[in-house]
C-alpha cells in the first residue's frame, strides 16, 4: 500500500482512453424546437417530442449536424459520406423514450487526431492523441433525489425529474487508446481536454463550461507491466468536471490500479465516480453482465449524407487552431508567457485581438481589458463579454488618449460611462462634459487663483523648492475638475513661478 | 429447432421491463418454439450479397432549421404525470448508477 | 341520410339542404342505437362533435369558402393523438391519458372542418387482425355480430359498415386498414409510406405504420385521402412532394389501356373458394372495362410474413419502451420503498395485454446481441428482396392485384389462442407495408359459402396512389351496375327489435 507515483510509473505503463461529451450551443434541441437555455424553470422547455409523448417524432437540427461536422474537421477526422442514427435501448427514468437516439456503427466523423504539447523533464514534448470517432446523440433529463442523506441517489426516497435538458444535442468524442505517455499520462489527459476545449470554443459550437456540464469527460485508465503487449483491465471514471480533476483522476486511478495489482489482486472493469473533495474515485455499479443495448437504425430518421460542397464550405470557414493562434499572437504582441496565460484565463484573447485589429496598441488594449474592464466585470459579477463595452469602444478610447484628447484618468471615466450604458465613448464624453482643458488661458487663470490661495507654497516653489509644486498641481487639477493634462499644468505652473520647466 | 428456454424468456422480460409470472414464462417459452421456427425462415434467403433495407424510403438529409418554437406550458407537460412535485415529475426511487 | 355517401352528404351541406349539426346528430343517434351491439367506439365525443359541427355551419352561413368534406362526420382510430380527448390505443396502459397536442392527421381534419365523432376501438397498439386484443373488449362485425370486424382497425371499419360514420381514419402497419375493410365490405386505403404524416400516430412499427382514409366508396376515400395527406415538416419520413391526384382518378375511374398484374403468389392454396371466385369475377369486369390482365410473379413474398413478424415486433419493443409509468399513463405498485424499476416492471405487466407482451419479447429477442444478424438483420434483407420483387412486377404492370385476405371474417375467439393462424390473415397485405407502396381494399361481393364480404386488393407504386383509385373506381362502378345497389344494403339491419 501507499505507493508513490514514481513507484507506479517505474513498473507500469498506463494506457489512456478519453470520452468527452459536449453539449452543443444550438438555440433549439437536437430533435425538437424547444429552447436550450441553461437554468430555466423546470419543465418549461419541453414538448411532446422531448417528453416522449406517444406519437411524437424527432426531426434533426441542421445546425447540430453542421457543428458536429465542424468539430470533426477541426479534429482532422474524415467526414463519413453516409451516416445514420441508431437507437440505444435501455430503461432509465431520465431518458423519456427509454432509448437514446445516438449513432452506433455509422458515426458522422471518424479517424482524427490532435497534437498536444506538455512540459517534460526534457523540455516541451508533443503527443498525438488519435480520435476514433465523433458522433451525435442527445442529452438526458436531470433528476433531483429527495430524502436520504445528501441528495445522492443512494438512500433517496424518490426522485423529481426535469426534462429541460432532455434532447439537448450532445457530441461524443472518443479517442483511440493512448499508449506511450508513460509517467506523463495525467498531464497528457489534461492537455488533451484543454486543447479540445479551446478548439470547441474557437469553433463557437459549445459553451464548453465544465462546471455547468456542457463539457464532460470520462477517463479510461488501465495499466500494464512495462514492455507487456496485452492491455490491462480498465476502469471508466465519470464525473470529471474540471481540467485539474482530469489530471487528478488519471493519477489517482493509476495508483489505485497499481496497488491492486501489486497486492496480487485484479482490477474490476467498472464505472467509477470521481469525487472532487477527496480526489479519489468511488465504485459505481459494476457491470456484472454487459448491457445489451439492442442498437438498430432509428426508423423515424433518415440517413445523413453530407455533400462534398457543404463539407468544403465548412472546412473553409474553420478558425485558426487555438494553439497556433496563441503562439502567433504572443509573438506579434511581444507578450510575456505569464501575461498570455492571464489573458487566456480571463478569456479576453478574442476581444483584445479585435481591439488591436481596430488600431489599438496591443499593450494598451491588453491592459484595458485585463485591468480596468476585468475589475468592473468582477465587481458586477458578470462576464466581460456581457458588459456593454465593445472592442470598438476601447480602440476609440485608446486613440483619444494617444491624441491627448483624454488623460488616462478621464479615459477611465469614459470606460465606466460606456459600461453603465451611457452610450458610445463620444456620447459619454459629450454627456459628462469630459474634456481635457488645453486652453492655456483657462489653465493660467486657475494657476493664478491657486497660487494666490496658497501663497506660502507658491513662495517655496519660487524659491526653488520644486517638490512643493505637487500640491499646487493637485489643486489646479481639482479646480479644472480633472480635465486638465497634468503635464501641461506642471509646465505652466513652473514657468509662472520662474522655474525651469524640465 | 429454434427455441427459447424459460430462463431466456425471463432474461428478455427483464430487458423489456415486464414482470412475468412463472406460468407466463413457461407458456411464452412454448409459443416461441413455434413462432421462432416460422420467422427463422428469413434466413433461407438472407444471403450476404443482399443489402439490408431498414426503411422503405430512400430519403436523405431531412433536417429542421435551428429555430426555437414554443414549448408546452409546464402544466401541459405535467398534465399526464402520475405524480408531481415542484413542477417536476415525481418518480419512485431510482436504483443503479448516477 | 346516414346511408348516403360522404360526397352526397357534402353536397347536401353545400346546397343548404341540411346542416352539419343535423347530420352529426343523426350519426350520434345512430351510434346510440347500435353501439351496444357493435362496440365500434371507445369514446364518443358528443359535445365536441356538435360544437365542431355548429362552428362549420356558422362558417358556411357567413359564406366562407369551405373544403369539400366540411361538416361531414368521421370516426377516428384511437391510435391518433387528439388534443384533450382520450387516446388509449386500445391499451390499459394509456387509460385516461389526454394528449396535450394534436396529431398532424387530426390537425388536417380540423383544418378541413371534418367533424370528429369520437375514437374507435382497435387491437391494443394496433397489434392484431381482429380487434379482440383491445383492452376494452372486442368490436363486432355488423354483417354477423359473432364475427370479427378485422383488425387492428376494426372499430373504424365497423363504424362505417354500421352507418355510425361515413368516413373513418385507420392506420395500416401490416394490413390494419385493408383487412378490416375487406371483412366489413368497406373501402380502405394505405397510402404510400410518407404520404400521410405519422406525427401524433402512436407508433407500433415506425418503418411500416401509415395512416389512411376509410369510407364506403372509392370517391369518399379519395376525398378523405386528399384532406389528410401532404408533406409535414414534423415527420422526417414524410415525402415532400405534391399529393397524388386521387380524387380526379376516383372520379374518372378509367382503366382503359392499364396493365393489371395478378400476383401469382397471393392466390390459390389457403384462399377460401368464395374469395377466389369473387376475385376472378372482378378481374373479368376490369378486363371488360378496358384493362389488360397480366400475371406477375413475386417469388420472395413467401418470406414476407416471417420478415414482418421480426421487423414490426423489433421496432415495437423499442417504441413501446416509453410506457413506463414515469411521465403519463398507468402506474402500478408505487408503494413505499418500491423502486422505479419495480414500478415499471409491474405497470408493464398489468398495463399491456398478452399479444403486446408476446411481440415485445419477440422483438427484444430479435434485436439482442448475438441474434440480431440472424433475425432482424435477415428480415431487413428479405425486405430488400420483396421491394425488388415489386420493382420487377411494376415493370410489367401499372398496378398489382390480389384478394385482400385469404378468408372472410372469422368467428370471435376462433383464432385467439393460435397466434400463427392469426398472423396468416395478413399474408396478402404485408408485402405492401414492407415495400412502402400504396394499397387499397374494396368490396368484391359476398362469398357464396358464408355470405360474407370479400375484399379486392389493389397495389400501386410509390407515390402513384392515383392508379389504385382509377382501378378501384372502375371496379366499383362495374360491380354496382351488376348489383344494382351498394353491397352494404345486403347487410342485416342492426336496429333494436329487428
Ligand atoms: Zn421539445
Each residue's pLDDT tens digit, A463-493? 888 888 888 988 888 888 777 888 888 888 8
Q: What is the dihedral of CA A65, A71, A73, A78, to 10 degrees?
A: -70
Q: What is the dihedral of CA C21, C24, C25, C31, to 10 degrees?
A: -170
Give the CATH number of domain A440-496: 1.10.10
DSSP-assigned beta bridge partners for residue A159: A145, B91
Beta strands in C284-396 (DSSP E): 292-296
Q: What's the pLDDT at C454?
A: 98
B12 falls within a domain: yes
C349 falls within a domain: no
pLDDT in tens, A200-251: 999 999 999 888 889 999 999 999 999 999 999 999 999 798 899 999 999 9
> In terms of residues, how long is chain C?
498
What mean pLDDT is predicted for residues A24-50? 97
C85 falls within a domain: yes
Containing structural domain, residue C59 = 6-301+383-497
Do residues C279 and C266 touch, judged by C-beta distance below 8 A? no
Residue A151 pLDDT grade (very low, low, confident, very high; cuts 50, 70, 90): low
pLDDT in tens, C317-359: 999 999 999 999 999 999 988 999 999 999 999 999 999 999 9
User: Does C327 sit within 8 Å of A96, measured CB to CB?
Assistant: yes
C77 is catalytic: yes
Q: What is the mean pLDDT of chain A?
A: 91
B69 falls within a domain: no
* C210 vs C205: CA distance, rounded Å: 9
Residue A283 pLDDT grade (very low, low, confident, very high; cuts 50, 70, 90): confident
Q: What's the pLDDT at C87?
A: 98
Q: What is the pTM of this model?
A: 0.89
Centroid of ligand 1 to alpha carbon of A57 (angstroms): 10
Collapsing DSSP to helix, strand or coil, B91 comes out as strand
Centroid of ligand 1 to alpha carbon of B73 (angstroms): 11
How many domains are there within chain B? Answer: 1
Longest Cα separation, chain B: 57
Give the gap in angstroms from C-alpha A372 to the nearest C-alpha of chain B: 37
Q: What's the pLDDT at C497?
A: 45
Collapsing DSSP to helix, strand or coil, A57 comes out as coil
Do residues C151 and C133 touch, judged by C-beta distance below 8 A? yes
pLDDT in tens, C477-498: 999 999 999 999 999 998 754 4
Q: Is B43 part of the contact surface with chain A (CB cutoff 8 Å)?
A: no
What CATH code is carried by the domain that includes residue B13?
1.10.20
- In this prediction, the answer to ipTM > 0.90 reads yes
Do residues C331 and C351 touch, judged by C-beta distance below 8 A? no
pLDDT in tens, A59-103: 999 999 999 999 999 999 999 999 999 999 999 999 999 999 999
Residue A499 pLDDT grade (very low, low, confident, very high; cuts 50, 70, 90): confident
Checking if the pLDDT of C375 tops 50, the result is yes
Centroid of ligand 1 to alpha carbon of C243 (angstroms): 29
C206 — phi, psi (to 5°)?
Answer: -55, -35
Q: Is A296 part of the contact surface with chain C (CB cutoff 8 Å)?
A: yes
Residue B3 pLDDT grade (very low, low, confident, very high; cuts 50, 70, 90): confident
Do residues C322 and A97 touch, judged by C-beta distance below 8 A? yes
Which residues of chain C does B40 touch, with a Cβ-Cβ cutoff of 8 Å? 306, 374-375
Q: What's the pLDDT at A488?
A: 83
CA distances A200 to A25, A79, A135, A150, A192, Å, are 11, 17, 15, 34, 12
Collapsing DSSP to helix, strand or coil, B25 comes out as helix
Do residues A28 and B66 touch, judged by C-beta distance below 8 A? yes
The residue from C152, C156, C205, C402 that is catalytic is: C152
| Peptide bond between residue C152 and the one before it cis (omega within 30 degrees of 0) | yes
CA distances A132 to A23, A75, A113, A243, Å, are 19, 10, 8, 22
What mean pLDDT is predicted for residues C143-154? 98
Do residues A114 and A196 touch, judged by C-beta distance below 8 A? yes
What mean pLDDT is predicted for residues A277-298? 81
Given the DSSP bridges, would you call strands C167-171 and C73-77 parallel, antiparallel or unpaired?
parallel
User: Does C207 sit within 8 Å of A55, measured CB to CB?
Assistant: no
* B39 vs B2: CA distance, rounded Å: 10
C394 falls within a domain: yes
Beta strands in A69-208 (DSSP E): 78-79, 86-89, 99-102, 109-120, 123-138, 142-146, 158-162, 169-175
Which residues of chain B does A47 touch, with a Cβ-Cβ cutoff of 8 Å? 69, 71-72, 77
Containing structural domain, residue B19 = 1-44
DSSP-assigned beta bridge partners for residue A61: B64
Q: What's the pLDDT at B98?
A: 44
pLDDT in tens, A310-326: 999 999 999 998 888 88
pLDDT in tens, B30-66: 999 899 999 999 999 999 999 999 989 889 999 999 9
Report which of residues A443 and C476 the model is more confident about: C476
All residues at 6 or more sequence positions from C395 whose CB lies less than 8 Å from its CB, including other chains: none
The H or E element that residue A3 is part of is none
Q: Is A48 part of the contact surface with chain C (CB cutoff 8 Å)?
A: yes
Which residues of chain A does B60 touch, with a Cβ-Cβ cutoff of 8 Å? 302-305
User: Does A157 sit within 8 Å of B71, measured CB to CB?
Assistant: no
What CATH code is carried by the domain that includes residue C276?
3.90.1300.10
Q: What's the pLDDT at C418?
A: 87
* C76 vs A199: CA distance, rounded Å: 53
B79 falls within a domain: no
Checking if the pLDDT of C107 tops 80, the result is yes
Centroid of ligand 1 to alpha carbon of C348 (angstroms): 25
Residue ranges, comma separated, of all CATH 1.10.10 domains in chain A are 440-496
Q: What's the pLDDT at A136?
A: 97
C440 falls within a domain: yes
C309 falls within a domain: no
Q: What's the pLDDT at C498?
A: 43
* B21 vs B3: CA distance, rounded Å: 19
Give the gap in angstroms from C-alpha B65 to the nearest C-alpha of chain A: 6
B22 falls within a domain: yes
Do residues C99 and C80 touch, judged by C-beta distance below 8 A? no
How many domains are there within chain C? Answer: 1
C-proximal residues of B, 21-80, CB under 8 Å: 24, 28, 31-32, 34-35, 38-47, 50-57, 59, 62, 64, 72, 76-77, 79-80
Do residues C454 and C443 touch, judged by C-beta distance below 8 A? yes
Centroid of ligand 1 to alpha carbon of C198 (angstroms): 17
A190: DSSP letter? H
User: Does C233 sit within 8 Å of A159, measured CB to CB?
Assistant: no
pLDDT in tens, A402-420: 887 888 888 998 999 999 9
Chain B's closest residue to A60, CA to CA, is B63
Task: Work out the end-to-end distance of chain A between its first and last CA atoms, rounded to an integer number of angstroms.
Answer: 73
Do residues C122 and C152 touch, judged by C-beta distance below 8 A? yes
Of A51, A60, A299, which has the smallest distance from its Cβ to C315's Cβ? A299
* C481 vs C171: CA distance, rounded Å: 31
Do residues A47 and B73 touch, judged by C-beta distance below 8 A? no
Amino acid at each position: 500500500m501507499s505507493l508513490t507515483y514514481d513507484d507506479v510509473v517505474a513498473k507500469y505503463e498506463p494506457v489512456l482512453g478519453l470520452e468527452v461529451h459536449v453539449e452543443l450551443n444550438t438555440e433549439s434541441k437536437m430533435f425538437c424546437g424547444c429552447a436550450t437555455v441553461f437554468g430555466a424553470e423546470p419543465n418549461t422547455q419541453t414538448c411532446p417530442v422531448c417528453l416522449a409523448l406517444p406519437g411524437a417524432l424527432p426531426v434533426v437540427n441542421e445546425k447540430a449536424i453542421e457543428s458536429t461536422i465542424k468539430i470533426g474537421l477541426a479534429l482532422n477526422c474524415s467526414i463519413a459520406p453516409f451516416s445514420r442514427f441508431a437507437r440505444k435501448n435501455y430503461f432509465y427514468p431520465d431518458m423519456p423514450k427509454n432509448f437514446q437516439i445516438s449513432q452506433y456503427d455509422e458515426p458522422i466523423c471518424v479517424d482524427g487526431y490532435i497534437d498536444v504539447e506538455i512540459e517534460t523533464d526534457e523540455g516541451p514534448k508533443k503527443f498525438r492523441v488519435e480520435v476514433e470517432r465523433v458522433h451525435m446523440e442527445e442529452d438526458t433529463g436531470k433528476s433531483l433525489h429527495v430524502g436520504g442523506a445528501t441528495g445522492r441517489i443512494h438512500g433517496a426516497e424518490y426522485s423529481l425529474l426535469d426534462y429541460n435538458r432532455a434532447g439537448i444535442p450532445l457530441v461524443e468524442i472518443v479517442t483511440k487508446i493512448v499508449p506511450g505517455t508513460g509517467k506523463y499520462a495525467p498531464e497528457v489527459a489534461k492537455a488533451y481536454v484543454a486543447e479540445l476545449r479551446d478548439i470547441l470554443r474557437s469553433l463557437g459550437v459549445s459553451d464548453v463550461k465544465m462546471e455547468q456540464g456542457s463539457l464532460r469527460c470520462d477517463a479510461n485508465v488501465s495499466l500494464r507491466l512495462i514492455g507487456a503487449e496485452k492491455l490491462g483491465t480498465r476502469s471508466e471514471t465519470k464525473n470529471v468536471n474540471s481540467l485539474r480533476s482530469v489530471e487528478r483522476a488519471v493519477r489517482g486511478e493509476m495508483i489505485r490500479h497499481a496497488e491492486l495489482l501489486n497486492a496480487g489482486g485484479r482490477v474490476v472493469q467498472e464505472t467509477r465516480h470521481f469525487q472532487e473533495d477527496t480526489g479519489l474515485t468511488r465504485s459505481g455499479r459494476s457491470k456484472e453482465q454487459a448491457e445489451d443495448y439492442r442498437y438498430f437504425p432509428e426508423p423515424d430518421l433518415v440517413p445523413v449524407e453530407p455533400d462534398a460542397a457543404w463539407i468544403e464550405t465548412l472546412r473553409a470557414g474553420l478558425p485558426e487552431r487555438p494553439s497556433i493562434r496563441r503562439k502567433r499572437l504572443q509573438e506579434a504582441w511581444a507578450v510575456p508567457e505569464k501575461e498570455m496565460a492571464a489573458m487566456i484565463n480571463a478569456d479576453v484573447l478574442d476581444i483584445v485581438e479585435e481591439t488591436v485589429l481596430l488600431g489599438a496598441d496591443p499593450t494598451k488594449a491588453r491592459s484595458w481589458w485585463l485591468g480596468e474592464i476585468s475589475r468592473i466585470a468582477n465587481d458586477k459579477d458578470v462576464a466581460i463579454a456581457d458588459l456593454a463595452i465593445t472592442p470598438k469602444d476601447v480602440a476609440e478610447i485608446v486613440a483619444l488618449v494617444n491624441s491627448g484628447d483624454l488623460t488616462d484618468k478621464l479615459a477611465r471615466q469614459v470606460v465606466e460611462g460606456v459600461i453603465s450604458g451611457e452610450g458610445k465613448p463620444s456620447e459619454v464624453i459629450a454627456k459628462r462634459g469630459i474634456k481635457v482643458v488645453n486652453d492655456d488661458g483657462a489653465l493660467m487663470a486657475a494657476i493664478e487663483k491657486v497660487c494666490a490661495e496658497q501663497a506660502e507654497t507658491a513662495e517655496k516653489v519660487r524659491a526653488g523648492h520644486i517638490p512643493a509644486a505637487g500640491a499646487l498641481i493637485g489643486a489646479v487639477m481639482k479646480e479644472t475638475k480633472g480635465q486638465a493634462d497634468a503635464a501641461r499644468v506642471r509646465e505652466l505652473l513652473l514657468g509662472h513661478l520662474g522655474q525651469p520647466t524640465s | 429447432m429454434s427455441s427459447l428456454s424459460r430462463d431466456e424468456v425471463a432474461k428478455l422480460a427483464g430487458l423489456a421491463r415486464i414482470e412475468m409470472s412463472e406460468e407466463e414464462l413457461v407458456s411464452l417459452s412454448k409459443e416461441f418454439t413455434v413462432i421462432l421456427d416460422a420467422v427463422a425462415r428469413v434466413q433461407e434467403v438472407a444471403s450476404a450479397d443482399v443489402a439490408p433495407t431498414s426503411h422503405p424510403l430512400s430519403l436523405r438529409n431531412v433536417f429542421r432549421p435551428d429555430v426555437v418554437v414554443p414549448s408546452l406550458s409546464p402544466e401541459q407537460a405535467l398534465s399526464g404525470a402520475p405524480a408531481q412535485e415542484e413542477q417536476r415529475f415525481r418518480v419512485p426511487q431510482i436504483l443503479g448508477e448516477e | 341520410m346516414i346511408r348516403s355517401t360522404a360526397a352526397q352528404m357534402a353536397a347536401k351541406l353545400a346546397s343548404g339542404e341540411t346542416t352539419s349539426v343535423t347530420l352529426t346528430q343523426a350519426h350520434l343517434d345512430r351510434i346510440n342505437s347500435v353501439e351496444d351491439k357493435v362496440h365500434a367506439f371507445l369514446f364518443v365525443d358528443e359535445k365536441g362533435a356538435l360544437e365542431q359541427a355548429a362552428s362549420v355551419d356558422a362558417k358556411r352561413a357567413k359564406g366562407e369558402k369551405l373544403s369539400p368534406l366540411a361538416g361531414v362526420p368521421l370516426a377516428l382510430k384511437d391510435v391518433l393523438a387528439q388534443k384533450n380527448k382520450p387516446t388509449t390505443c386500445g391499451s390499459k396502459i394509456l387509460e385516461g391519458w389526454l394528449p396535450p397536442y394534436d396529431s398532424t392527421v387530426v390537425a388536417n381534419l380540423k383544418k378541413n372542418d371534418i367533424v370528429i365523432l369520437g375514437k374507435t376501438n382497435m387491437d391494443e397498439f394496433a397489434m392484431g387482425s381482429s380487434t379482440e386484443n383491445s383492452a376494452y373488449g372486442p368490436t363486432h362485425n355488423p354483417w354477423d355480430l359473432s364475427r370479427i370486424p378485422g383488425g387492428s382497425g376494426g372499430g373504424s371499419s365497423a363504424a362505417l359498415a354500421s352507418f355510425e360514420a361515413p368516413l373513418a381514419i385507420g392506420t395500416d402497419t401490416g394490413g390494419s386498414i385493408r383487412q378490416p375493410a375487406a371483412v366489413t365490405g368497406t373501402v380502405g386505403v394505405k397510402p404510400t409510406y410518407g404520404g400521410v404524416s405519422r406525427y401524433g400516430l402512436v407508433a407500433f412499427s415506425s418503418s411500416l405504420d401509415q395512416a389512411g382514409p376509410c369510407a364506403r366508396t372509392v370517391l369518399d376515400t379519395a376525398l378523405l385521402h386528399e384532406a389528410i395527406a401532404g408533406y409535414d415538416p414534423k415527420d422526417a419520413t414524410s415525402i415532400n412532394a405534391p399529393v397524388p391526384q386521387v380524387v380526379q382518378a376516383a372520379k374518372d375511374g378509367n382503366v382503359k389501356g392499364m396493365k393489371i398484374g395478378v400476383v401469382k403468389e397471393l392466390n390459390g392454396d389457403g384462399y377460401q373458394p368464395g374469395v377466389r371466385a369473387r376475385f376472378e369475377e372482378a378481374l373479368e369486369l376490369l378486363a371488360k372495362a378496358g384493362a389488360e390482365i397480366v400475371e406477375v410473379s413475386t417469388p420472395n413474398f413467401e418470406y414476407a410474413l416471417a420478415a414482418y413478424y421480426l421487423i414490426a415486433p423489433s421496432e415495437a419493443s423499442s417504441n413501446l419502451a416509453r410506457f413506463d409509468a414515469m411521465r403519463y399513463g398507468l402506474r402500478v405498485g408505487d408503494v413505499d420503498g418500491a423502486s422505479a424499476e419495480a414500478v415499471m416492471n409491474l405497470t408493464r405487466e398489468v398495463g399491456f395485454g398478452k399479444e403486446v407482451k408476446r411481440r415485445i419479447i419477440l422483438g427484444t429477442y430479435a434485436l439482442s446481441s448475438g441474434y440480431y444478424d440472424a433475425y432482424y438483420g435477415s428480415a431487413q434483407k428479405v425486405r430488400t428482396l420483396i421491394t425488388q420483387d415489386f420493382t420487377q412486377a411494376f415493370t410489367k404492370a401499372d398496378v398489382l392485384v390480389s384478394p385482400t385476405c385469404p378468408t372472410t371474417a372469422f368467428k370471435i375467439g376462433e383464432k385467439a389462442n393460435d397466434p400463427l393462424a392469426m398472423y396468416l390473415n395478413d399474408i396478402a397485405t404485408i408485402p405492401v407495408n414492407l415495400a412502402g407502396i400504396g394499397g387499397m381494399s374494396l368490396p368484391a361481393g359476398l362469398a357464396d359459402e358464408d355470405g360474407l364480404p370479400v375484399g379486392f386488393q389493389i397495389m400501386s407504386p410509390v407515390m402513384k396512389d392515383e392508379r389504385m383509385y382509377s382501378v378501384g373506381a372502375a371496379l366499383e362502378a362495374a360491380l354496382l351496375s351488376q348489383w344494382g345497389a351498394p353491397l352494404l344494403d345486403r347487410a342485416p339491419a342492426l336496429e333494436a327489435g329487428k
